């Protein structure tokens, strides 16, 4: 690595990832879906990871949490550190001890992420019984408090209900209560608002923000929605075809993108201030897993690509400014358009 | 849950009434006149008519039905035409034996099916999975009378571990009871075990791919909890459906297995009654079998309510 992306000082870093690589078993053999991803997250920081579906953003986080199916996946990393734990050295059992109290997840589909056969209260309470050794009675009481905290009305009654009796937004609140139960140091929110209505989306984002302020945890926010990124993130990593292609603080990334892909994403954002503009999109499709183009992985879709982009080996992630990295050969010569 | 139980119970009543019509009507479908049979081959027309009057067979059908159904409701299923024993007594002797046999068979089949299904689903595609899939196919394909004979040959005649025939009531000696019931129950349960294992393996594999299983893992729950609680409760629904069907099949299969192992259950009573055209006994046995089958279906529905909260009325 010529330059690690903005890595905060080791003491306040809750999660540190260096050169993470994830291979999955496909019909045609092993294929790399996450290739050399490195980043760190500071306490209290919200790190956004953006990219199209299939860019490897979810796999990155599932791999960190040890949730990729063993046997069909290979996860390697130079460093994978969560607080004082070296995750590469932990057994699956030890990983399970960490999931919940140290790192918790919120998933995209609140409809299917809760078990239909158990009450909502029980699904929250079991985390507390597992990790904090609470009794049934204590854990039930705590579950009701958590439901109250995440804004579920009449929590004592609702705790006894099943997921199908909840709306999408309310279910996502339940998921947040589950994630919050053991007061984790890192919360990974994998597209938590994608499946929700816009108004509900805003409420859930607000709730996540409040909770983060209260507890000072690190949040990794995975999304493909730059509007959401602008709303909640402090710092952003842009992923494309399994690699980080750009990383910067939010304001800088939007104002001064250094990778053509990020420029394309910004241009593709629908704008309220100029509704007459037709919607812009990046031409082409991301490459398929196991079928990566030579050179820069973005070159087939890039308007600035030259022969060097097509033939040279994949460009390295380079530092262009303090805390700003990009994976583009031509970044010194290009002036890319940001978001006004 | 109580309301669910009561509404479900109420819906069985019309079905039960319908069934009594059918059971009673069976008599009309059976070829041959019971009065002729009873009176014997040498009886005169007058003697046959006298027998018919004595048995009440000359009265209108509706009257006969009403008579039968009111007595049956009070536990009187009539008297055997041949042994003159009350039908209820014969059934009372045989039914507990058959229920014990079927219940043990069901227990054995679940004890085989559940671990097999879990292991094969979790180790999908390995040799363990393949062995159990082949085993399931064999279990479904092999006829129980053949299996029963093979078990007798192996465990009783060759190894001498278990008695080949006979029955000891549990109340007399639980140990002996177990020794005697084990082979018949295994014979009866093995086809069900194979079917259940196959069904459960498929549904576990399906459930393992659900998002909520990933959530359970993300919570840090141990593998045992994830499988035993989150996967099994959802994967059991199709299994319960299969079990509901199996209970009725077990009652039918018990008739055969009781013959092979000389177990004095309801099957023996039924076969004797059918060969002698002992209509009150046939009616009694069929009625009891239907009630047992309906009871087990009721149990299945209640289990659905427990497993799937969406089924419960609110």
Buried/exposed A278-308: b ≥16 CB within 10 Å, e otherwise: eeeebeeebbebeebeebbbbbbbbebbeee
Give just the sign of the alpha carbon dihedral B271, B273, B277, B281.
negative
DSSP secondary-structure letter at B170? T
Q: Are the C-beta atoms of B236 and A117 separated by less than 8 Å?
A: no
Predicted pLDDT at A3: 42
Residues of chain A positioned with their CB less than 8 A from the CB of B310: 116, 162, 164
Q: Do A93 and B225 touch (CB under 8 A)?
A: no
Residue B22: band (very low, low, confident or very high) from pLDDT cuts 50, 70, 90: confident
The model's pLDDT over B69-105, given as tens digits with 9 standing for 90+, comes to: 888 888 888 788 778 888 888 888 889 899 999 999 9
Is A114 within 8 Å of B215 when comparing Cβ atoms?
Answer: yes
Which ipTM value was assigned to this complex? 0.86
Does A158 fall in a domain? no
Q: Is residue A304 part of a domain?
A: yes
3-state secondary structure A83-128: CCEEHHHCCHHHHHHHECCCEEEECCCCCCCCCCCCCHHHHHHHHH
| Residue at A142 is within a domain | no
Residue A331 domain flag: no
**pLDDT beyond 90 at B154:** no
Query: Measured between CA atoms, how close is B145 to chain A, in angstroms?
Result: 40
pLDDT, one tens digit per residue, over B163-185 is 877 787 878 888 888 888 888 99
Q: Which chain B residues touch A117 with a CB distance below 8 Å?
A: 233-234, 307-309
Give the pLDDT confidence of B235-258 residue by residue, as tens digits. Answer: 998 899 888 888 888 888 888 888
* Alpha carbon distance B211, B216 (integer Å): 9
pLDDT digits (tens, 9 = 90+) for A128-166: 999 999 999 999 999 999 999 998 999 999 999 999 999
The minimal CB distance from A130 to the residues B210, B221, B310 is found for B221
What's the gap in Å between the CA of B241 and the closest CA on chain A? 17
Cβ contact, residue pair B218, A116, below 8 Å: no
Q: Does B126 touch chain A (CB under 8 A)?
A: no
A110 within a domain of the structure (yes/no): no
Q: How many domains does chain A have?
A: 1
Cα–Cα distance, A298 to A239 (Å, whole number): 11
CATH of the domain at A269: 3.40.50.300
Q: Is A143 on the interface with B (CB under 8 A)?
A: no
Half-sphere exposure of A122 (CA within 13 A, CB side): 12
Of A140, A116, A117, A165, nearest in space to B306 by CA: A117
pLDDT for A10 equals: 47
Nearest to A260 by CA among A298, A224, A227, A288: A298
Q: Which residues 202-241 of B are in CB contact (within 8 Å) with A?
A: 210-212, 214-223, 225, 229-230, 233-234
Residue with tokens 């209900």: A161
- Asked if A104 reaches chain B (Cβ–Cβ under 8 Å), the answer is yes
8 Å CB contact of B217 and A96: yes
Contact (Cβ atoms closer than 8 angstroms) between residue B87 and residue B81? no
- Backbone φ and ψ for B291, nearest 5 degrees, come out as -60, -40
Partnered with residue A48 across adjacent β-strands are A221, A236
Domain span at A277 = 10-102+184-326
Q: Cβ neighbours of residue A207 under 8 Å, at least 6 residues apart?
A: A150, A151, A173, A176
Contact B308 A126 (CB under 8 A): no
Distances (CA, A) of B118 to A308, B105, B220: 54, 20, 21
Those residues whose C-beta lies under 8 Å from the C-beta of residue B262, and which sit 6 or more positions away, are B165, B166, B167
Which domains does chain B show, CATH number per domain? 89-311 (1.10.3720.10)
| DSSP helix/strand/coil, A245 | strand
């Amino acid at each position: 690595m010529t330059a690690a992306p903005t890595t905060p000082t080791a003491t306040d870093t809750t999660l540190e990832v260096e050169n993470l690589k994830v291979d999955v078993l496909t019909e045609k053999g092993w294929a790399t879906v996450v290739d050399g991803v490195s980043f760190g997250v500071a306490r209290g920081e919200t790190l956004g990871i953006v990219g199209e579906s299939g860019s490897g953003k979810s796999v990155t986080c599932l791999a960190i949490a040890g949730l990729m199916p063993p046997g069909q996946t290979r996860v390697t990393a130079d460093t994978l550190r969560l607080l004082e734990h070296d995750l590469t050295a932990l057994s699956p059992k030890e990983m399970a001890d960490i999931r919940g109290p140290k790192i918790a997840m919120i998933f995209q589909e609140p409809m299917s992420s809760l078990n239909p056969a158990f009450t909502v209260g029980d699904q929250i309470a079991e985390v507390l019984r597992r990790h904090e050794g609470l009794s049934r009675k204590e854990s039930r009481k705590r579950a009701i408090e958590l439901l109250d905290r995440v804004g579920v009305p009449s929590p004592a009654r609702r705790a006894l209900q099943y997921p199908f009796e909840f709306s999408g937004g309310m279910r996502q609140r339940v998921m947040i209560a589950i994630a919050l139960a053991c007061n984790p140091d890192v919360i990974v929110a994998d597209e938590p608002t994608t499946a929700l209505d816009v108004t509900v989306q805003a409420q859930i984002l607000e709730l996540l923000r409040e909770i983060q302020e209260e507890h000072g945890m690190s949040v990794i926010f995975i999304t493909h929605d730059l509007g959401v990124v602008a709303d909640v993130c402090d710092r952003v990593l842009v992923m494309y075809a399994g690699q980080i292609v750009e990383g910067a603080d939010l304001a800088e990334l939007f104002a001064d993108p250094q990778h053509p892909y990020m420029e394309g994403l910004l241009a593709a954002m629908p704008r309220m201030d100029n509704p007459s503009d037709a919607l812009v999109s990046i031409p082409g499709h991301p490459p398929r897993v196991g079928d990566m183009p030579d050179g820069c992985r973005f070159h087939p879709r890039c308007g600035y690509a030259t022969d060097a982009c097509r033939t040279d080996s994949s460009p390295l992630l380079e530092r262009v400014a303090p805390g700003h990295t990009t994976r583009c050969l031509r970044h010194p010569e290009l002036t890319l358009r940001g978001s006004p | 849950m109580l309301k669910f139980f009561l509404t479900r119970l109420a819906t069985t009543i019309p079905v039960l009434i319908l069934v009594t019509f059918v059971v009673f009507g069976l008599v009309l479908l059976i070829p041959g006149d019971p009065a002729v049979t009873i009176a014997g081959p040498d009886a005169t027309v007058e003697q046959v008519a006298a027998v018919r009057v004595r048995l009440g067979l000359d009265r209108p059908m509706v009257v006969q039905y009403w008579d039968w159904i009111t007595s049956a409701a009070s536990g009187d299923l009539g008297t055997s035409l041949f042994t003159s024993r009350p039908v209820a007594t014969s059934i009372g002797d045989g039914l507990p034996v058959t229920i014990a046999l079927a219940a043990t068979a069901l227990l054995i089949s679940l004890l085989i099916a559940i671990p097999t299904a879990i292991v094969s689903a979790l180790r999908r595609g390995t040799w363990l999975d393949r062995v159990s899939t082949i085993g399931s196919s064999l279990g479904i394909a092999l006829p129980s009378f053949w299996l029963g004979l093979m078990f007798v040959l192996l465990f009783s005649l060759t190894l001498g571990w278990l008695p080949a025939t006979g029955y000891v009531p549990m109340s007399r000696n639980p140990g002996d009871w177990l020794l005697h019931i084990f082979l018949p129950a295994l014979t009866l349960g093995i086809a069900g075990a194979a079917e259940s294992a196959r069904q459960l393996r498929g549904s576990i594999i399906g459930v393992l791919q659900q998002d909520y299983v990933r959530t359970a893992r993300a919570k840090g729950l141990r593998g045992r909890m994830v499988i035993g609680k989150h996967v099994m409760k959802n994967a059991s629904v199709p299994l319960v459906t299969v079990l509901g069907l199996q209970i009725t099949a077990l009652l039918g299969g018990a008739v055969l297995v009781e013959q092979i192992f000389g177990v004095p259950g309801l099957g023996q009573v039924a076969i004797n009654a059918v060969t002698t055209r002992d209509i009150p006994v046939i009616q009694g046995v069929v009625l009891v079998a239907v009630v047992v089958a309906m009871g087990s279906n009721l149990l299945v529905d209640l289990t659905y309510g427990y497993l799937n909260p969406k089924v419960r009325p609110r």
